[in-house]
């Protein structure tokens, strides 16, 4: 199915289902995806075949300059963002200057739009890097992916590159002492003949057990809203998402935000 790429380093603002008026920052290439996952539901499509694309990342200096320019224009228009969101064409924490870019962004936010939050949408694969962890601790909305409590499901849904160790990921997610938001995509369908449904009883039990270990600040659950690279995927209804949310609230006491 058709998908799209963000063709600018600074994009938007857009109205986010989860975050409000969001000004986006894409630290990845503007003409291809670059990610440590290759999620079957990713709105940016598939990763390019290895060796076919030479990724060109914006420099730290470029990101700061472009962000300053955009925020000043928005300020003059009286239309400052609710949140500055690191998202874009893949995994933002892959960028080698990620920690420094976060520091620059905090400084620009404090100078130009002090009421705005800073959010990072991450797939949790770079949390073995101390500088990434320390940078994520500084942002207001540290949003980290956990699509299942079962490794086999993550391998199908998220298609991690290389070796994937769910136990290690969970240990890394526990580093934030509650200063993190867990984000989970719920989906049904098939992929290459394999049935997919991370809303089953076994799935929910395993996922909730990990939430209880991680003890996040809150949980975001959502489902597909745009075209996906894989066919035969289906949305989970808002009603079913609300049932999952109520269960999490009851069993863990965690705050849950639903985006249908």
Q: How many CA atoms lie within 13 A of 224 on its CB side?
A: 22
Domain locations in the chain?
10-259
- In degrees and rounded to multiples of 5, residue 152 shows phi and psi of -60, -35
Cβ neighbourhood burial of 133 (10 Å; 0-12, 13-18, 19+): middle
pLDDT at 108 over 90: yes
pLDDT at 23 over 90: yes
pLDDT at 2 over 80: no
CATH tag for 10-259 (out of 2.60.40.420, 3.30.70.20, 1.10.3720.10, 3.20.20.70): 3.20.20.70
Cβ neighbourhood burial of 73 (10 Å; 0-12, 13-18, 19+): exposed
| pLDDT per position as a tens digit, 115-133 | 999 999 999 999 999 999 9
| pLDDT per position as a tens digit, 189-248 | 999 999 999 999 999 999 999 999 999 999 999 999 888 999 999 999 999 999 999 999
> pLDDT higher for 249 or 49?
249
Read off the pTM.
Answer: 0.94
pLDDT at site 89: 94
Q: How many CA atoms lie within 13 A of 68 on its CB side?
A: 11
Confidence band of 17 (pLDDT split at 50, 70, 90)? low
DSSP 8-state symbol, 92: G
Cβ atoms within 10 Å, residue 75: 12
Handedness of CA 154, 160, 163, 167 (dihedral sign): negative
Confidence band of 5 (pLDDT split at 50, 70, 90)? confident
CA-nearest of 93, 84, 119 to 37 is 93
pLDDT at 28 over 80: yes
Let me know: does 196 contact 156? Beta carbons within 8 Å. Answer: yes
Cβ atoms within 10 Å, residue 197: 15
Q: State the chain's maximal CA–CA distance in angstroms.
A: 53
pLDDT at site 77: 93
The mean per-residue pLDDT over the stretch 35-46 comes to: 95
């Amino acid at each position: 199915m058709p998908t799209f790429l963000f063709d600018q380093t600074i994009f938007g603002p857009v109205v986010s289902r989860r975050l409000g008026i969001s000004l986006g920052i894409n630290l990845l290439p503007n003409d291809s995806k670059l990610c440590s996952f290759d999620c079957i539901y990713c709105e940016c499509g598939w990763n390019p075949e290895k060796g076919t694309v030479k990724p060109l990342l914006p420099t730290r200096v470029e990101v700061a300059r472009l962000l300053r320019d955009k925020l000043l224009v928005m300020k003059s228009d009286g239309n400052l963002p609710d949140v500055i969101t690191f998202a874009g064409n893949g995994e933002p924490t892959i960028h080698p200057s990620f920690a420094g870019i976060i520091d620059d962004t905090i400084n620009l936010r404090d100078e130009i739009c002090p009421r705005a939050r800073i959010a990072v949408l991450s797939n949790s694969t770079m949390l073995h890097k101390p500088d990434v962890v320390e940078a994520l601790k500084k942002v207001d909305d540290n949003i980290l992916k956990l699509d299942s409590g079962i490794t086999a499901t993550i391998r199908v849904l998220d298609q991690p590159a290389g070796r994937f160790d769910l136990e290690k990921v969970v240990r890394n997610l526990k580093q934030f002492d509650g200063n993190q938001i867990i984000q989970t995509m719920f989906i049904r369908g098939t992929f290459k003949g394999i049935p997919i449904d991370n809303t089953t009883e076994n799935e929910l039990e395993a996922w909730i057990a990990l939430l209880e270990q991680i003890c996040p600040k809150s949980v975001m659950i959502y489902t597909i809203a745009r075209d996906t690279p894989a066919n035969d995927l289906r949305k989970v209804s808002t009603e079913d998402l609300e049932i999952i949310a109520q269960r999490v609230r009851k069993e863990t006491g965690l705050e849950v935000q639903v985006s249908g």
